[in-house]
Chains A and B, each alone.
Chain A
Amino acid sequence: MLTIRRDLVEAMVAHARRDHPDEACGVIAGADDGTDRPERFIPMLNAARSPTFYEFDSADLLKLYREMGANDEVPVVIYHSHTATEAYPSRTDVAYASEPFAHYVLVSTRDPEAHELRSYRIVDGVITEEPVEVVESYEFTHPGQDDPPQE
């Protein structure tokens, strides 16, 4: 399951809408501590500037990974949009997927009124869809912190 803050979902959708009809892409980084929480929104340039393909620019990719390395972050979410098809990984998406611990989020902008947002794990060529839980904050979502503090 992907648990993600509402403002980050809105940021991904806004980016996808802004770049439509080209595909938009980016990363949401989070601490490399196993908490699996997306925190830092990093929209990336689609170097392909295409309605059917996306690719992080090679220099941007190096800069991004160096930055995440320096911050002890991992790419918790890797997102991109499909602008004329459903939010389901294509064969190309699967061929390129190489972050086994990332949530691959797809946003479809084919409907101008309502977006579709879905999340997947893609490991060794196998697509596994997962539920997306949108939360206002991560404060009470940590395992073992089910009880809200006393007023």
Chain B
Amino acid sequence: MAVTVSIPTILRTHTGGEKSVPAAGSTLAEVIDDLEANHGGIKGRLVKDGTLHRFVNVYVNDEDVRFSGGLEAKVADGDNVTILPAVAGGAR
């Protein structure tokens, strides 16, 4: 399954500056492994201890994968995967 992955500014050091890159897989985990194969180091920025890093949001099309299976979320041919750093913080 071929998908297009949108890469946020902070991770473009791994993609040679590209804003979006192709990847393959039938689940988000497979897509991330495929990304890692071509853009070494990116997986460690997305996954920690076998789950998605809390500082990052990943969407398959319009759906935040947190609500659709996390790394096991299904992806289909032609889907758009969007990676966005969470915008958050606070006084503590």
Contacts and interface: CB of A to CB of B under 8 A. Distances in A.
A93 B86 contact: no
Nearest to B62: A62
Which of A54, A80, A98 neighbours the largest number of chain B CB atoms within 10 Å of its CB? A98
Given A58-B64, A59-B64, A82-B91, A100 B86 contact: no
Contacts, number: 86
**Chain B interface main SS type:** mixed
A62 B82 contact: yes
Nearest to B20: A69
A92 B89 contact: yes
Given A98-B8, A100-B9, A62 B90 contact: no
Contact of A54 (B10, B82, B88): B88
A25 B9 contact: no
A106 B10 CA distance: 21
Interface in B39-92: 55, 57, 59, 62, 64, 66, 82, 84-92
A79 to B, nearest CB: 10
Contact of B90 (A27, A54, A98): A54
Given A92-B92, A95-B55, A55 B9 contact: no
B90 A90 contact: yes
Which of B8, B55, B64, B88 neighbours the largest number of chain A CB atoms within 10 Å of its CB? B88
Which of A84, A85, A96 neighbours the largest number of chain B CB atoms within 10 Å of its CB? A96
Contacts of A101: 9
A23 B10 contact: no
Contacts of B8: 98
A3 interface: no
B10 A90 contact: no
8 contacts: A23-B91, A44-B87, A53-B92, A58-B66, A61-B87, A90-B91, A92-B90, A99-B9
Question: Which 7 residue pairs are nearest across A and B when measured between Cβ atoms?
Answer: A53-B90, A98-B85, A93-B89, A55-B88, A56-B87, A58-B64, A82-B91
